[in-house]
């Protein structure tokens, strides 16, 4: 666990109760255990800043297009880059520098393995989506603009299966809860959603429903193993029951005048580029090129009435955004250009922009166990975001170091860490005037 | 970016609400002033003011950041550059600003370094390039300075490095290369220096012994010639006694002794006593050579006396072989050296007899003045020594000393070891000391002495008498020979003969004496005067001759000055000749001058006349006319020798011969064969006039007088024709406006819009003009249509389509 040890009194519980207060309540049975847990999770989801201590070992030499952390262990970070590189980092094994540029305690997530472009198995072009197999870290899948969907054996880093498509694959997804099937849904430039059964090793189904253009986003429901949501260029997001290939289960339709207006009742006033179910599987979040974010009730197919802040820089490609799962209030992290827009999806709130990447952010993934957001961008970086950029941890470490020095050494001189010294104001040279 | 723009606006609004409006306004104004100067550097005072405003609190800093970002968006690279510089200033100061800027670094970089290809930097190009380069440099600086404190800054740096392929290394390498170059230069210099040093040290090593030998030689020679007092191991007590006696003897004389030389003082005094010139002539003969020991006291003994009745110079007598000799030795030497009978007097030294010291009585006061300079006479005995010394000193002063000086220079410049320098300095000091000694010690060459001492020399050669040589010239013939002062010339030889002081003895010990003339030092002139003037071959005679000649010429001059008022006939033509006239007649009393009265005849008849003629009083005017003299001044006619020679259209040159100005080609100036004016030969005033005319021409070309808009307007009104008064008015206005702008304009930002006025732009305006496009298109369509119709018009099947 990388969770820094905080002294309890420095942390304020979300409900304006002190941590000890909450703990007492919990031990007395007045507070459900998960409530506290969720509160703490929520606490960590707010106020994210670029971490000062955590880094991901650099490996990519091109824009990072997708990141994923396995569900079974919450440990391995899978990332795919636009030059075909696929890399796996271990989020628990750290290269620890005591003094990395005199920064205190830099932790670098160690690279476990990587598939460099040019090798026989590697994607020849940009990798658009990488995905862990839900139940096991032995398998992962990747797809990209080289029209291939590849199933990898993690341990040997060899391609086990390869499915060729006629067009580029915008995104693919596997159900995380399925027990009866191993289907991979792939959204391509064709209007038909293809289903690949990895058990059989071939295409088993085509979902015809989208009118024209491609399908940019596919997502399986985390609750219902047969429920699939797809979003296409035809401005519609559709829900499918993969057992019946006759037609879509439901089209998510937003009543209201559209600006582009040639068709009413579309999901978005632009192509639907991103889809995500909430953790409970009741709601679906969609993002369209109309720079809007909507939440839909799966059961009713109605748009939630709450207002979400407008987005920006949603381009004509699949948006790899994420929703947090374990918090009392959950947040959406959406890559919008150079910034990551984050806002509370449980209640109306102002959006916040996280600035860290340069040029463009491509993907976000909230790592629940580490309470950290992992993002990849066009600047070839995978960045880690934590609450206040680990400032509290840094302070703690500073204090500890001071104590250590006091205990060990006789000399009283405690040098200020460089990183701290640099953040001081230096107006001093104006003093003379 | 849009989101960010909105954010900036909202933040600005919010900040303005929160903060002191006055300060906020000031900040805005200050930033505006800072950034719109268009200067490549910021105004120091203004930036200080801005910083002071920002210092109030972090909120102000944040506000400043948004202001800066807003300003950065201006589509003018000069503004952006200045704004960036402000940002750089603040970045180095404030943490809050750094936080803000680092957060929005992406945006910042987009605006300053065109990281996004679809957002190029605005014109002007030069400023844009500078902005880009400076920002990248700044980013590197920031990263080096603050990289660890601000993660995002490090990321941005890496982004620029990896993704934008900004070669920070090269930037750093440039610095590095510079440093390396300087280092190399330094190394090279040091190498050279070390080489020089080694060379010099080696040279020193090689020449040291040589120099030392030479120095030693010179020193030894000096010691031989001038033994130092310490070299004499004289019994001190003895000397003291002497001294006491001397003190007693010279009761009025005060003796001051310095250093150990004091022991010798007495000695010298004693000798001095001998050398005293008294009124007795015969005593002079006693003046024997002073022993050398007295010489060594040169400068050490100062004998002075306030009441001087006599001044006496004690000559220095030096002879070789005096070194390290005790007193007895000296005595012996003296004895040896002395030739004449005066030697006996020496013995009186010891006897402490007053008389022996040349003092007749106790009242006699005597001043011994020891000259500072010591001269050594070259004699046969010391010739070799002197020769060696001369050689050595020459070697030292001309060769070794400059060499050592040069070494010292090189050593000190190239940082030699202290010891080496010290050694060199010591060597130099040593050599200099020797040189000084040699200079001090006037080495009197033997030859000159010989010349003087010829007659007294024992072994002088008999020279056949010169033809026409008269040893004695009778006084009445003196003038003939150009000799003056018959008395001196008469006496001189006798004095010479009688005066033993002029006799130099064979041993080379020279004695100088001054007779009763109050001359303290011996000099050549005097010598010459005393020499035989009668001898026309002698220098003295020659000098005398020259003198007399000079005196006669001066006398002549005087005579000439006296007779200067005599008018010589030669000067006559210069005096103006005036004819006798009325004014000269009344020269003495011009008041009495009267104009002649004029008689007027009214009738002009030949025979008949009125009885009394009317006389008219002469007027003042007439009187003046009388006084006037009329000269005719014609001058000399000088024919014109030059031609205009301006090139004519026919190819010939203008043949007109005008004196100053050609009516066709203006002032006549120097021209070459082709008739082109020789520019270099044009006199300056002419040049100036040409310049003036040309400049005035330029002025007029701006708006020639006939284009005066008002005049034009009037004419237009009168005639009804358009002469373009409006246009010239515009021109005039433009000129004025331009001037006014230059004065009144606060900022000197480059005007982007004017730079658009290029040939290309103008052409574009013409070519891609909508109307012209339409016209051209329609024409082309027409021709196409015509062609089609001509070709296929008659064909049925095509007409269906």
What per-residue confidence (pLDDT) applies to B498?
45
Contact A379 B107 (CB under 8 A): no
Per-residue pLDDT tens digits for B262-289: 444 444 444 444 444 443 444 444 444 4
Contact A358 B52 (CB under 8 A): no
**B644: which residues sit within 8 A by CB, 6+ positions away?**
B653, B654, B655, B656, B657, B658, B662, B664, B665, B668
Of B93, B152, B158, the CB nearest to A355: B152
When pLDDT is averaged across residues A213-233 and rounded to a whole number, the result is 89
Per-residue pLDDT tens digits for A99-110: 555 455 677 888
Half-sphere exposure of A205 (CA within 13 A, CB side): 20
Contact B149 A419 (CB under 8 A): yes
Contact B94 A425 (CB under 8 A): yes
DSSP-based three-state secondary structure for A305 = coil
Going by C-alpha positions, the residue among B510, B513, B508, B545 that lies closest to residue B526 is B513
Measured CA to CA, the distance from residue A47 to residue A42 in angstroms comes to: 10
Of A359, A389, A418, the CB nearest to B151: A389
Contact B94 A421 (CB under 8 A): no
Distance from CA of B164 to the nearest CA of A (A): 9
Per-residue pLDDT tens digits for B159-193: 887 777 777 777 766 666 777 888 888 888 888 88
Contact A430 B48 (CB under 8 A): yes
Interface test with B, best of A100, A379, A386 (most B CBs within 10 A): A379
**B340: which residues sit within 8 A by CB, 6+ positions away?**
B285, B288, B500, B505
DSSP-based three-state secondary structure for A92 = strand
Q: Determine contact, residues A165/A149, Cβ cutoff 8 Å.
A: yes
Residue A95 has pLDDT above 70, yes or no: yes
| Beta strands B367-369 and B311-313, pairing class | parallel
If you count DSSP H runs as helices and E runs as strands, how many of each does chain B have, helices first?
Answer: 33, 10
A432 and chain B in contact, CB less than 8 A = no
Per-residue pLDDT tens digits for B396-443: 888 888 888 888 888 887 777 788 888 888 888 888 888 887 777 766
pLDDT classification of A181: cutoffs 50, 70, 90: confident
A187 and chain B in contact, CB less than 8 A = no
**What percentage of chain A reaches a pLDDT higher than 90?**
17
Per-residue pLDDT tens digits for A388-403: 877 777 777 777 777 7
Distance from CA of A125 to the nearest CA of B (A): 18
What per-residue confidence (pLDDT) applies to B618?
67
**B411: which residues sit within 8 A by CB, 6+ positions away?**
B197, B200, B420, B421, B424
Task: Show which residues on chain B lie within 8 Å of chain A, measured between beta carbons.
Answer: 1-3, 7, 48, 51-52, 55, 92-96, 98, 103-107, 109, 115-116, 145-152, 155-156, 158-160, 162-163
Interface test with A, best of B148, B158, B162, B165 (most A CBs within 10 A): B148
Distance from CA of B124 to the nearest CA of A (A): 25
- Looking at per-residue pLDDT, the higher value among B551 and A220 belongs to A220
Residue B748 has pLDDT above 60, yes or no: yes
pLDDT classification of A180: cutoffs 50, 70, 90: confident
Contact A379 B2 (CB under 8 A): no
Interface test with B, best of A360, A380, A422, A433 (most B CBs within 10 A): A422
A99 and chain B in contact, CB less than 8 A = no
A360 and chain B in contact, CB less than 8 A = no
Measured CA to CA, the distance from residue A2 to residue A22 in angstroms comes to: 23
Q: Determine contact, residues B755/B124, Cβ cutoff 8 Å.
A: yes
Measured CA to CA, the distance from residue B122 to residue B73 in angstroms comes to: 10
For residue B1, the tally of other CB atoms under 10 A from its CB is 17
Contact A359 B115 (CB under 8 A): yes
Contact A424 B95 (CB under 8 A): yes
Most confident of A28-37, A163-172, A424-433, B689-698: A163-172
Chain A residues with beta carbon closer than 8 angstroms to that of B159? 358-359, 379-381
What per-residue confidence (pLDDT) applies to A423?
63
Q: Determine contact, residues A132/A175, Cβ cutoff 8 Å.
A: no
Strand partners, A110: A90
**B530: which residues sit within 8 A by CB, 6+ positions away?**
B492, B495, B496, B502, B540
Per-residue pLDDT tens digits for A296-335: 999 888 888 888 888 888 888 889 999 998 888 889 999 9
**B607: which residues sit within 8 A by CB, 6+ positions away?**
none
Measured CA to CA, the distance from residue A68 to residue A86 in angstroms comes to: 11
Chain A residues with beta carbon closer than 8 angstroms to that of B51? 427, 430
Strand partners, A232: A215
For residue A8, the tally of other CB atoms under 10 A from its CB is 12
pLDDT classification of A141: cutoffs 50, 70, 90: very high
Size of interface A-B (CB pairs under 8 A): 93
Interface test with A, best of B160, B163, B164 (most A CBs within 10 A): B163
Strand partners, B377: B444
**B516: which residues sit within 8 A by CB, 6+ positions away?**
B277, B279
pLDDT classification of B298: cutoffs 50, 70, 90: very low
Q: What is the DSSP letter of B671?
A: B
What per-residue confidence (pLDDT) applies to B434?
80
Q: Omega before B451 cis (within 30°)?
A: no
A379 and chain B in contact, CB less than 8 A = yes
pLDDT classification of B730: cutoffs 50, 70, 90: low
Per-residue pLDDT tens digits for A31-56: 888 888 888 888 888 888 888 778 88
Contact A101 B92 (CB under 8 A): no
- Looking at per-residue pLDDT, the higher value among B340 and B116 belongs to B116
Task: For chain B, give the mean pLDDT.
Answer: 67
**B626: which residues sit within 8 A by CB, 6+ positions away?**
B582, B583, B593, B595
A127 and chain B in contact, CB less than 8 A = no
Of B93, B115, B151, the CB nearest to A50: B151
Half-sphere exposure of A61 (CA within 13 A, CB side): 7
**Residue B166 to residues A197, B114, B134: CA-CA distances in angstroms?**
47, 12, 13
Contact A101 B115 (CB under 8 A): no
What the block records as the tokens of B546 is 């020259």
Contact B155 A356 (CB under 8 A): yes
Q: For A304-313, B210-219, B220-229, B406-415, which range has the lowest pLDDT when averaged over its residues?
A: B220-229
Q: Identify the closest residue of chain A to B117 by CA–CA distance.
A: A359
Measured CA to CA, the distance from residue B400 to residue B409 in angstroms comes to: 14
Chain A residues with beta carbon closer than 8 angstroms to that of B148? 101-103, 418-419, 422
pLDDT classification of A79: cutoffs 50, 70, 90: very high
Task: For chain A, give the mean pLDDT.
Answer: 82
A398 φ/ψ sector (left φ>0, alpha ψ -120 to 50, else beta): alpha
Q: Identify the closest residue of chain B to A426 by CA–CA distance.
A: B93
């Amino acid at each position: 666990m990388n969770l820094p040890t905080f002294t309890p009194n420095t942390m304020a519980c979300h409900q304006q109760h002190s941590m000890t207060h909450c703990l007492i309540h919990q031990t007395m049975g007045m507070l459900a255990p998960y409530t506290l847990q969720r509160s703490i999770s929520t606490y960590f989801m707010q106020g994210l800043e670029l971490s000062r201590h955590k880094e991901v070992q650099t490996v990519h030499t091109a824009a990072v297009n997708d990141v994923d952390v396995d569900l079974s262990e919450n440990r391995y970070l899978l990332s795919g880059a636009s030059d075909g590189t696929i890399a796996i980092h271990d989020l628990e094994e750290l290269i620890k520098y005591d003094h990395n540029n005199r920064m205190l305690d830099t932790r670098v997530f160690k690279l476990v393995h990587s598939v460099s472009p040019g090798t026989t198995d590697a994607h020849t072009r940009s990798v658009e989506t990488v995905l862990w197999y839900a139940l096991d870290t032995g398998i992962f899948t990747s797809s990209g603009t080289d029209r291939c969907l590849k199933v990898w054996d993690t341990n040997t880093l060899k391609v086990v299966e390869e499915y060729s498509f006629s067009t580029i694959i915008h995104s693919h997804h596997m159900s995380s809860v399925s027990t009866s099937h191993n289907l991979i849904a792939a959204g391509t430039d064709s209007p038909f959603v293809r289903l690949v059964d990895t058990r059989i090793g071939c295409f088993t189904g085509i979902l015809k429903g989208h009118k024209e253009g491609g399908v940019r986003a596919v997502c399986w429901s985390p609750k219902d193993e047969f429920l699939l949501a797809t979003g296409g260029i035809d401005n519609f997001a559709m829900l499918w029951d993969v057992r019946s290939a006759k037609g879509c289960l439901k089209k998510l339709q937003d009543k209201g005048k559209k600006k582009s207006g040639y068709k009413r009742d579309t999901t978005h006033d632009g192509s639907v580029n991103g889809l995500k179910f909430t953790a409970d599987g009741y709601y679906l979040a969609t993002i369209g090129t109309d720079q809007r974010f909507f939440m839909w009730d799966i059961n009713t197919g109605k748009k939630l009435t709450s207002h979400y802040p407008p987005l920006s820089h949603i381009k004509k490609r699949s948006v790899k955004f994420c929703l947090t799962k374990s918090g009392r209030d959950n947040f959406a992290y959406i890559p919008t250009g150079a910034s990551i827009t984050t806002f509370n999806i449980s209640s109306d709130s102002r959006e916040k922009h996280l600035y860290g990447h340069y040029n463009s952010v491509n993907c976000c993934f909230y790592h629940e166990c580490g309470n950290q957001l992992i993002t990849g961008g066009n600047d070839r970086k995978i960045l880690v975001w934590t609450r206040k950029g680990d400032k509290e941890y840094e302070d703690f470490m500073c204090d500890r170091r001071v104590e250590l020095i006091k205990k060990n050494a006789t000399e009283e001189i405690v040098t200020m860490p460089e990183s701290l010294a640099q953040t001081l104001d230096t107006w001093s040279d104006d003093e003379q005037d | 970016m849009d989101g960010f723009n909105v954010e900036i606006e909202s933040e600005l609004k919010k900040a303005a609400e929160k903060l002191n409006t006055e300060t906020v306004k000031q900040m805005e104004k200050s930033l505006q002033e800072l950034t719109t100067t268009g200067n490549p550097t910021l105004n120091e005072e203004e930036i200080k003011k801005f910083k002071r405003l920002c210092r109030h609190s972090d909120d102000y800093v944040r506000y400043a950041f948004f202001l800066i970002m807003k300003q950065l968006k201006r589509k003018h690279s000069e503004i952006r550059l200045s704004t960036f510089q402000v940002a750089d200033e603040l970045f180095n100061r404030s943490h809050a600003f750094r936080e803000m800027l680092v957060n929005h670094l992406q945006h910042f970089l987009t605006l300053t370094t065109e990281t996004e290809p679809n957002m190029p930097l605005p014109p002007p190009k030069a400023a844009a390039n500078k902005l880009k380069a400076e920002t990248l440099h700044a980013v590197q600086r920031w990263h080096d300075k603050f990289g660890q404190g601000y993660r995002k800054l490090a990321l941005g740096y890496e982004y620029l490095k990896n993704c934008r392929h900004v070669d920070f290394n090269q930037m750093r390498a440039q610095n590095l290369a510079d440093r390396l170059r300087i280092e190399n230069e330094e190394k090279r210099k040091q190498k050279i220096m070390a080489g020089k040093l080694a060379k010099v040290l080696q040279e020193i090593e090689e020449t040291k012994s040589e120099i030392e030998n030479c120095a030693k030689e010179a020193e030894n020679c000096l010691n031989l010639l001038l033994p130092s007092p310490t070299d004499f191991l004289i019994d001190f007590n003895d000397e003291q006694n002497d001294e006491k006696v001397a003190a007693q003897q010279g009761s009025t004389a005060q003796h001051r002794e310095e250093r150990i030389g004091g022991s010798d003082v007495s000695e010298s005094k004693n000798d001095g006593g001998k050398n005293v010139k008294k009124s007795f002539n015969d005593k002079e003969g006693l003046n024997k050579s002073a022993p050398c020991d007295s010489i060594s006291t040169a400068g050490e003994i100062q004998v002075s006396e306030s009441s001087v009745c006599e001044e006496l110079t004690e000559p220095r007598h030096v002879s070789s072989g005096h070194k390290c000799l005790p007193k007895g030795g000296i005595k012996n030497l003296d004895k040896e050296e002395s030739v004449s009978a005066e030697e006996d007097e020496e013995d009186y030294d010891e006897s402490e007899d007053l008389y022996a010291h040349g003092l007749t009585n106790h009242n006699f006061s005597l001043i011994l003045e020891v000259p500072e300079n010591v001269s050594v006479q070259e004699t046969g005995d010391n010739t070799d020594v002197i020769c060696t010394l001369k050689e050595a000193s020459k070697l030292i002063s001309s060769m070794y000393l400059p060499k050592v000086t040069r070494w010292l220079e090189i050593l000190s410049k190239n940082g030699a070891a202290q010891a080496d320098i010290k050694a060199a300095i010591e060597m130099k000091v040593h050599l200099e000391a020797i040189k000084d000694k040699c200079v001090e010690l006037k080495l009197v060459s033997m030859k000159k002495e010989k010349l003087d001492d010829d007659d007294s020399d024992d072994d002088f050669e008999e020279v056949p008498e010169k033809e026409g040589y008269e040893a004695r010239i009778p006084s009445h013939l003196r003038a003939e020979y150009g000799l003056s002062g018959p008395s001196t010339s008469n006496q001189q030889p006798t004095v010479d003969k009688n005066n033993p002081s002029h006799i130099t003895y064979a041993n080379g010990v020279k004695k100088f004496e001054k007779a009763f003339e109050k001359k303290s030092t011996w000099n050549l002139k005097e010598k010459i005067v005393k020499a035989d003037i009668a001898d026309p071959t002698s220098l003295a005679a020659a000098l005398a001759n020259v003198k007399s000649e000079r005196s006669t010429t001066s006398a002549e001059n005087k005579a000439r000055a006296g007779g200067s008022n005599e008018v010589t006939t030669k000067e006559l033509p210069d005096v103006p000749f005036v004819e006798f006239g009325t004014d000269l007649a009344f020269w003495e009393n011009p008041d009495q001058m009267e104009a002649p009265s004029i008689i007027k005849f009214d009738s002009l008849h030949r025979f008949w006349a009125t009885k009394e003629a009317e006389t008219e009083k002469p007027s003042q005017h007439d009187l003046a006319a009388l006084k006037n003299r009329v000269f005719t001044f014609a001058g000399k006619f000088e024919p014109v020798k030059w031609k205009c020679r301006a090139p004519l259209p026919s190819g010939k040159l203008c043949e007109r011969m005008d004196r100053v100005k050609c009516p066709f080609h203006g002032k006549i100036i120097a021209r070459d064969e082709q008739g082109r004016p020789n520019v270099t030969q044009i006199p300056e005033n002419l040049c100036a006039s040409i310049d003036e005319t040309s400049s005035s021409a330029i002025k007029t070309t701006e708006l020639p007088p006939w284009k005066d808009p008002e005049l034009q307007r009037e004419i237009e009104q009168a005639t009804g024709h358009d002469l373009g008064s409006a246009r010239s008015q515009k021109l005039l206005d433009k000129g004025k406006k331009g001037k006014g702008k230059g004065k009144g304009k606060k900022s000197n930002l480059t005007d982007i819009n004017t730079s658009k006025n290029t040939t290309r732009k103008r052409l574009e305006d013409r070519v891609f003009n909508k109307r012209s496009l339409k016209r051209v298109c329609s024409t082309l369509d027409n021709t196409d249509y015509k062609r089609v119709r001509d070709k296929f018009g008659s064909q049925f099947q095509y007409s269906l389509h």
